Amino acid sequence: MSWFATKSSQKSLIRILAGILIVATLVLITIGLRPFRAARQPDPEPAVAATEEFVVPSVVNPGYLGPQSCAECHSERVAEFRDTRHFKAMCVPDSATMPEGFFAGKGDFQMPDSPIHFLMTHENGHFVQKTTDKSTSTTSEIAFVYGAAGGNDEVYFTWRDGKLNELPMVWLGPQKQWGTSPFDRHASGDFSREMTIRCVECHNTWAKHVPGSRNQYSRDHWILGVSCEVCHGPGRAHVDFHRNHPDVKEPHAVVRPAQLSRERRMDLCAQCHSNALKHRGPAFQYRPGEPLDDFYVTLRTKYPEDDHVANQTTYLRQSKCFQSSDSMTCVTCHNPHQPHSPSNAGAHSCRTCHQAEDCIDRLKQPESVRSDCIGCHMPEHRKIQVFFRTESDRYVAPVKRYEHRIGVYPLARLAVILESLKKQTDAQSRAEATTITKQLAQLWNEECDDRRQSHRLIAAIDACRESLRFDDTPESQQKLRDLIAVQSALDEDFQAARWHERERRYPQAIEAFQRVLAAKPNHAMAHARLGTAYADVGEKQLSRQHLLSAIKADPDDPYAPAMLGWLSYLDGKHEEALTYYQQADAVEPFNSRINHQMGLALAKLARWPEAIQRQQKAITIDPNDPRPFIALSVALRQSGQRQESVKYARRAAQLTEYKDLEALIGLADAYADVGHWNEAIETTEQGLAIAQPANKQLAAQLRIRLVELRRQGK
**What is the mean predicted confidence (pLDDT) over 385-393?**
96
How confident is the model over 505-522, as a mean pLDDT?
Answer: 98
Listed range (6-15, 418-427, 433-442) with the worst mean pLDDT: 6-15
My answer on whether 225 and 128 are in the same domain is yes
Q: β-strand 276-279 against 217-224: which pairing, if any?
A: unpaired
Residue 309 has what pLDDT? 87
Domains in the chain, number: 2
> What integer best gives the mean pLDDT of the chain?
90
φ and ψ at 333, to 5 degrees? -110, -20
DSSP secondary structure string for all residues of 337-375: TS---TTTSSHHHHTTT--GGG-TTGGGS-GGGTT-HHH
Q: Per the domain annotation, does 399 fall within a domain?
A: no
pLDDT score recorded for residue 46: 53
In the chain, % of residues over pLDDT 70: 92
pLDDT tens, residue by residue, 51-60: 467 888 889 9
State whether 142 and 27 are in the same domain. no
31 and 142 in a single domain? The answer is: no
Residue 303 is assigned to a structural domain of this protein: no
Looking at the structure, do residues 137 and 76 belong to the same domain, yes or no? yes
> Quick check: is 615 in a domain?
no
Instruction: Please compute the mean of the pLDDT values over residues 617-644 and round it to a whole number.
Output: 96
- The one-letter code for the residue type at 667 is L
- CA pseudo-torsion sign 409, 414, 415, 420: positive
Query: 208 in a domain, yes or no?
Result: yes
pLDDT in tens, 65-110: 999 999 999 999 999 999 999 999 999 999 999 999 998 789 999 9
Return the pLDDT at 345: 65
Q: Say if residue 50 is in the same domain as residue 84.
A: no
pLDDT of 340 strictly over 80: no
Distance CA 36, CA 679 (A): 14
In terms of domains, do 119 and 248 share one?
yes
Which DSSP category does 44 fall into? P
Residue 217 and residue 93 share a domain: yes
Residue 631 resides in a domain: yes
137-159 confidence digits (pLDDT tens): 999 999 999 988 778 899 999 99
355: phi then psi, degrees, rounded to nearest 5: -90, 155
In which band, very low, low, confident or very high, does the pLDDT at 342 lie, cut at 50, 70 and 90?
Answer: low
Supply the pLDDT for residue 20: 36
Predicted pLDDT of residue 362: 78
10 CB-side CA count, 13 A: 7
Strand order in the sheet with 126-133: 108-110, 117-123, 126-133, 136-141
Same domain, 154 and 103: yes
* Inside any domain, residue 249: yes
- The whole domain housing 666 covers 1-56+624-714
Considering the domain boundaries, does residue 116 fall inside one? yes
pTM: predicted TM-score of the whole model, two decimal places: 0.90
Give yes or no: residues 182 and 279 share one domain.
yes
Which residues have CB under 8 Å from 113's CB, separation 6+?
none
pLDDT higher than threshold 70 for residue 17: no
Q: Does residue 18 sit in the same domain as residue 142?
A: no
pLDDT band at 354; cut points 50, 70, 90:
confident
Query: pLDDT value at position 234?
Result: 98
Q: What is the pLDDT of residue 27?
A: 35
Alpha carbons 432 and 423: distance in angstroms, whole number: 12
pLDDT of the residue at 543? 98
Cβ atoms of residues 656 and 626 within 8 Å: yes
R_g of the chain, CA atoms, integer Å? 30
Q: Are residues 25 and 157 in the same domain?
A: no
pLDDT for 50 beyond 80:
no
242-255 pLDDT per residue, tens: 999 999 999 999 99
Q: How confident is the model at residue 341 (pLDDT cuts 50, 70, 90)?
A: low
Higher pLDDT, 235 or 47: 235
Contact 237, 259 (CB under 8 A): no
In a domain, 337, yes or no: no
pLDDT one-digit tens code per residue, 167-183: 999 999 999 999 999 99
Q: What pLDDT is recorded for position 645?
A: 96
- Do residue 207 and residue 127 come from a single domain? yes
671: domain CATH number? 1.25.40.10
